Amino acid sequence: MAFYELYKNKANRDARAKELKAQGLTVRRSSSSNQLLHPQYVEDELSELRSQTGIGNTVYKTHYGKLYKVEAQS
């Protein structure tokens, strides 16, 4: 089983990577620049932004200068 998570903060990503490694998973860390996506896909985004979905959603195109990704697989 493989999965990934996105973070705004590098320290949060690294802490999560450490947790996953302790569980015995193979972990890979990376980053990407200039991303445009909804905050619901970013793990450490503010909860009020993550909950905005549906018609009238003003944050569906949020720009992130840098996102940090952790990928894990067993």
Please give the pLDDT value at position 49.
76
SS3 (DSSP) at 71: strand
The domain of 9 spans 2-73
Instruction: For residues 37-59, give the mean pLDDT.
Output: 82
* Residue of higher predicted confidence among 16 and 58: 16
SS3 (DSSP) at 61: coil
Domain count, the chain: 1
DSSP string, 12-59: HHHHHHHHHHHTT-EEEEEEEEEEEE-GGGBTTS-HHHHT--STT-S-
pTM of the predicted model, to two decimals?
Answer: 0.88
Res. 56: pLDDT tops 90: no
